[in-house]
Amino acid sequence: MIITIITDNINSWFIPFGEILQKELQKKGHIVYYVTDKSEIKKGEVCFILSCSKIIEEEYLKLNKHNIVVHASDLPAGKGFSPLQWQILEGKNEIILTLFEAVKKVDAGPFYIKRKLLIESTDLLYESRKKMGNLIVNMCIEYIEQGENIKPIKQIGEESFYRKRKREDDEIDINKTIKEQFNHFRIADNEKFPLYFEYLGEKYILKIYKESADD
C-alpha cells in the first residue's frame, strides 16, 4: 500500500510521532512517505493528515482513495482549533479522539474510529501531547490493519466549535491563585506561547516544568 503522512509545520510537536508511524507502517511492508507540504502528497491509497494547520484543497485529496484526520474531540462536538488545550482548560481528563475521513467541509467527514485519551490532573502539555501522539499512531495503524472491513459512520449530534487561540489567551490573572488557574498552566506551551502577566507597566513571562521531568 502507498501511504502519505503529512504534517504541514516542520516545527510541529507531532513530527516525532509521525516518524514513528512511518517506521511502523514500513515494517508492515507499506511504502510510506512523510511530507510537510501538500504539493508533496503522493498518489496512493491513504493520506494521513496529522497536526496540519492549513486546509488541503480537494485537488490534493483526490490523489488518495482515503484522506484520514485524527481530531482531539468527540466529533461533531469540539470542531476547530486546539481542542486538546480547550478541553483541558475546561477540566476534562478524558478526551475522545476521532479518526475520520477528510471532506471539503472542515471536520465534517464520516468517522471510522473513536478512542479515549486518558490524562492525569498533573499532566503538563508535553505529557498530554505525548500520550495523544502515541494514541494517534495506534489509531492510524489500527485503521490500516482493518482495511476495507472498517466502515464509515456519519457524524450525528450537536456540533460545536473551538476558536483559534490568541496570544491574550495565555495571560494569567494575578488576582487569582495558582490553584484556581492550574489547568491554564497545564496547557502552556513554554517555547512557542508561554504564559505571561502584566504588572506595573511590565510584562513578565512564566514557564512551568516538573522537577521530576526527564524529557
pLDDT digits (tens, 9 = 90+) for 152-192: 999 999 999 999 999 999 999 999 999 999 999 999 999 99
User: What φ, ψ does residue 144 adopt, rounded to 5°?
Assistant: -65, -40
* pLDDT per position as a tens digit, 16-65: 999 999 999 999 999 999 999 999 999 999 999 999 988 899 999 999 99
Residue 12 phi/psi, 5-degree rounding, is -65, 145
Q: Which of 111, 113, 94, 93 is closest to 102 using CA atoms?
A: 111
Query: Has domain 2-162 been given CATH number 3.40.50.920?
Result: no
CA distance 25 to 128: 24
97 HSE (CA, 13 A, CB side): 24
Please report, to the nearest 10 degrees, the dihedral formed by the alpha carbons of residues 81, 85, 86, 92 taken in order.
140
Q: pLDDT tens, 83-142?
A: 999 999 999 999 999 999 998 888 889 999 999 999 999 999 999 999 999 999 999 999
Provide the residue ranges of all domains of the chain, joining segments of one domain with +.
Answer: 2-162, 167-206
* pTM as predicted: 0.93
Q: String of b and e for 143-164 (b: at least 16 CB within 10 Å)?
A: bbeeeeeeeeeebeeeeeebee
Position 215 scores a pLDDT of 53
